[in-house]
Structure 1
Amino acid sequence: MERFPSLTATIITGSGLSGEYAAHPRIRYFEIDQVEKLPDGNYRSVDTSQSFEQAIASRKRAINEFLQHQPADIFIADKEPLGLSGELSDALKILKAKGTTLVLGLRDVLDEAVKLDLEWKEKGITDAIEAFYDHIWIYGSPDFYDPLQGLELPSSVVSRCSYTGYLYQPHPEFEQLAPEGLPDDYLLVTAGGGGDGDFLMNAVLSAYEADPSISCPAVLLLGPFSDSAHEREIRSRAQRIMGTAVIGFNSEPETLILHARAIIGMCGYNTFCEVIARNKEVLFVPRQTPRLEQSIRAERAKELGLCEVVKGEQADDPASFADDIRSLIQSTERPKPGHNLDMSGLQRIGEKVEAILAARNHPSLEVEHVG
């Protein structure tokens, strides 16, 4: 935001975590009804008094009303071109009519091509992108992966695509901070958001139970969406393993990552960026369902020498997974070959926003982001 002193930004969010982050005088949050993803890939309303369909209808009304009265110069949609379940369909029309520059932001990996192509055709997503979006920003690098490969896209859509590089913001001040109350040497286990990471936490605990001689203590970072009942069970198990620590939500995990000897994670986008940017030794245990996003990202990173990968069913064997953990810990003593990923995405997005605002012939005013 410092680059644009007169810019204000609104983040339209259904995460429920806006209050956990440091406030900024020119960034505001507009909260809509929360929904949560189930293990099978379906969703439900967090508010149990309403159905998922009612939650989506409420989100749609709220977004439409907000944008009718407070249209933006730039609107960035995160990952889902039409929203989670079509709630942006009318909003895109509203913004297009008001002359807003519409941007679709996509992660470096979405899903396997066959499944994604079918989904986009069934939902009319390609047609919607062609009709509404002016730019498609891919938050990755072309030498890592093309998230749209294998899709039948018109040239008019392909021509709007550009790679930004990965979205990583280094915080040098964290290098001077040591995590309080943790061992000097530890293995960090992170579940990202945490909603579906319980299997990873339990797999690590089982490995430590099977092999108490693992020398590096584990620190388990559960994530903000960890199920409360599962969290209690994990904490109870961890208390019986000497040296193991459990941390709930942490809005700034970089300090934990920076000071860890090695990392075990699921290979979600944010974890991937934070770990790879810090050149940490990492073992990914990617989720296999409902999408292959994490698995594709992890396997590609392994090809480039950036990580090691263990599949979920392999992690279910405590003795075998304990061996994997030992190997990971020992690998910190070996030189690490590497592939330098482009981590300048935030800087490049700033340049793109600057160019859009310049083309609109006025200073920066308002940016909306929905995600």
Structure 2
Amino acid sequence: MKNLFPHCREITRTSASVEPPEASNSFNNGRKWRIALYSHDTMGLGHKRRNFLIAQTLGCSTLETDILLISGIKDAGNIPTPPGVDCLTLPALHKNIDGEYQARRWDLSLQEIITLRSQVILTTIKAFKPDIFIVDNVPRGAVNELDPTLNYLQSQKQTHCILGLRDVLDEPKSVRRDWKRKANEKAIQTYYDAVWVYGDPKVYDLVEEYQFKPKTVSKFRYTGYLDQRSRLKFMDIESIQAFKSLNLPSKKLVLCLVGGGQDGARLAQTFAHAELPPEMNGIILTGPFMPREARQKLQNYAAQRDNLQVLEYLAEPTLLLNRAERVIAMGGYNTTCELLSFAKRSLIVPRIKPRKEQLIRAERLQALGLIDVLHPDHLTPQAITNWLKQDIKPPQVRNHIDLNGLTRIPQFIEEILTSGHHSSQQAS
């Protein structure tokens, strides 16, 4: 079987020239260190893609680990997985544009599917016995489905629990209200040993913005943003061939990205009706969750133009993004990290409901001169046409923000595993 991750060994060889900390590759009681990552994945692909990139990075590091990715989306099954990384897919839960949860595919009540997911997670964690458990973004999981697992891990005191947060959660008043209602700070203080923020406080300082209590703040640690260029190291033959099969023209490429696509139809349709400069071709990547009717309308319109192409899905779109001259996109965390990592001339049209997270992030980055922003209330084909006509220089991203998150995370993990104190020491 072909090696889908030829760079993993290359990374190991490069790292070997530096004297590793003592016991950096040691085993815990005769077995590899075990790391579990949970993402609730109720809207879009962002949480899963972020966690999977972290898992890929750890899987190709010098650490000897077995990694389990627990997710509500089976999308990562189409992405090559390095040795030592495996995935568990939960029954799918969906959050609509109004922020309400429901089963994505089954005719189950919310309580039924949450109970089922919660029991699956708890049983899995009991059997896997992770040394480290990294929870993405939601301290108690979707609809508190992690409560039984967190209580179990606290009673065992054998697992170091980490909460990973994106750079922006929402506007401060909403975060303070929601976190108080959900008792999130109490959960952090009770169950978690650390909180990692996948961002740079120079862009957005969660501690200052959200006014968390000192006992919560003491657990915070910024990793820096996650440099998405690392995805290029994890390309397999199928991903490369899928990109080559697009037969892209030699003209400059402008790319329209709408995340998972469930609420991206308006941006995609507006882009489809914009006038592209003569030297440019356009590609719309709809995402797997765009409604079929909206996707078909885009396909029908693109069929009438010789400078526009519509793609539903690419398992790993990084090669396409790397090729693009300009990008017009919604402003999710992963997409924004990709735009920054590849220093793309970009226009972000942020989602503003049910959270203002994307708008806040976009405005902060615009203030640093790294992106342009178009409020969705002002989204028209002419607005996009006008932006494409502007002469815009590539942003000097690395002069302004920290993109070293994927370098620091393995270092943080190694500190925990080699400290001799990786057993959880949660506060009572």
Which of 160, 184, 193 is the matching residue for 2:219? Answer: 160
Matches within 5 A, 1:124-273: 124-171=183-230, 179=244, 180-184=246-250, 185-208=252-275, 215-273=279-337
| Counterparts in 2 of 1:356 and 1:318: CA distance versus 1, 3 Å | same
Judge conservation of contact 2:277–2:389 (CA < 8 Å) in 1. no
Give 2:384's aligned residue: 321
Aligned to 1:369: none
Percent identical across equivalent pairs?
32
Which amino acid is 2:146 matched to? L
8 Å contact 2:366–2:372 — kept in the other structure? Answer: yes
Measure how far apart 1:249 and its partner are.
Answer: 1.6
Distance 1:169 1:306 in 2: 16
Deviations 1:216-251 (CA, angstroms, capped at 9, x unpaired): 221011123222232122212222222101112212
Q: 1:4 to 1:225 in 2, by over 3 A?
A: farther
Please tell me the residue identity of whatever aligns with 1:183. P
Cα distance in 2 for partners of 1:278, 1:170 equals 7
From the superposition, tell whether residues 360 and 284 of structure 1 become closer, same or farther in structure 2 (CA, over 3 Å).
Answer: same
Aligned-partner SS, 2:320: helix
| Distance in 2 between residues matched to 1:127 and 1:182, nearest whole Å | 52
The amino acid across from 1:45 in the alignment is A
Q: What TM-score do you get using the length of structure 1 for normalisation?
A: 0.89
| 2-structure distance, mates of 1:50, 1:36 | 12
Q: Taking structure 1 as reference, are residues 79 and 22 closer, same or farther at Cα in structure 2, changes over 3 Å only?
A: same
Q: Which among 19, 25, 28 is matched to residue 77 of structure 2?
A: 19
2:412 aligned with 1:348, yes or no? no
The 1-side partners of 2:357 and 2:144 are apart by 21
- AA at the equivalent of 1:321: I
Higher mean C-alpha deviation, range 40-49 or range 114-123: 40-49
Alpha-carbon distance in 2 for matches of 1:24, 1:78: 21
Counterpart position of 2:94: 36
2:53 matched to which residue of 1? none
Q: Is the 8 A contact 1:314 1:321 kept in 2?
A: no
Equivalent residue runs for 1:296-335 within 5 Å: 296-315=360-379, 317-327=380-390, 330-331=391-392, 334=393
Say whether the 8 Å CA contact 1:11–1:28 is kept in structure 2: yes
Instruction: Name the SS for the 2:60 alignment partner.
Output: coil
Partner SS for 1:149: helix
1:133/1:319 CA distance change after superposition, 3 Å:
same
Contact kept, 8 Å, 1:188 with 1:220, in 2: the verdict is yes
Instruction: For residue 207 of structure 1, give the secondary structure of its aligned residue in structure 2.
Output: coil
SS of 1:17 mapped into structure 2: helix
Superposition RMSD in Å: 2.1
Structure 1: runs of 5 or more not aligned: 363-371
Structure 2 distance, partners of 1:224, 1:124, is 34
Counterpart Cα distance in 2 of 1:169 and 1:260 = 15
Deviation at 1:52, TM superposition (A): 2.5
CA distance in structure 1 between the partners assigned to 2:395 and 2:382 by the alignment: 26
Query: Is the alpha carbon distance of 1:203 and 1:76 closer, same or farther for their aligned partners in structure 2, counting shifts above 3 Å?
Result: same
Indicate the residue corresponding to 1:287 in structure 2. Answer: 351
Of the structure 1 ranges 142-151 and 193-202, higher mean CA displacement relative to structure 2 is found in: 142-151
Alignment gaps of 5+ in structure 2: 1-58, 423-428
| Residue identity matched to 2:132 | I
Q: Deviations 1:260-301 (Å, cap 9, x if unpaired)? A: 110001111111111111111001000111101110111011
Displacement of 1:94? 0.9
Q: Please, which of 104, 107, 113 is the counterpart of residue 55 of structure 1?
A: 113
Distance in 1, Cα, partners of 2:412 & 2:66 = 16
Secondary structure, counterpart of 2:347 in structure 1: strand
CA distance in 2, matches of 1:53, 1:199: 33
Measured in 2, the distance between the counterparts of 1:288 and 1:299 equals 12
Deviations for 1:60-94, whole angstroms, at most 9, x for unmatched residues?
Answer: 11111111222210000000000011000111111
Tell me how far apart the structure 2 counterparts of residues 321 and 3 of structure 1 sit (CA, whole Å): 42
Instruction: Report whether the alignment pairs 1:115 with 2:174.
Output: yes
Residue 350 of structure 2 contacts residue 359 of structure 2 at CA under 8 Å; is this kept in 1? Answer: yes
Q: Specify which structure has the bigger relative contact order, considering alpha-carbon pairs within 8 angstroms and separated by 6 or more residues.
A: 1
Which letter does structure 2 place at the counterpart of 1:139? Y
| Displacement after TM superposition at 1:213 (Å) | 6.0
TM-score by length of 2: 0.78
State the SS of the aligned residue for 1:166. Answer: coil
Distance 1:336 1:189, change over 3 A: same
**Separation (CA, whole Å) in 2 of partners of 1:305 and 1:159:** 32
Name the aligned partner's letter for residue 128 of structure 1: A
Question: Which has the higher mean CA deviation after the structures are superposed, 272-281 or 130-139?
Answer: 272-281
Contact preservation (8 Å) 1:71, 1:98: no
Q: Find runs of 4+ consecutive structure 1 residues off by over 6 angstroms.
A: none
What is the number of residues matched between the two proteins? 353
Within-5 A mapping of 1:27-106: 27-99=85-157, 100-106=159-165
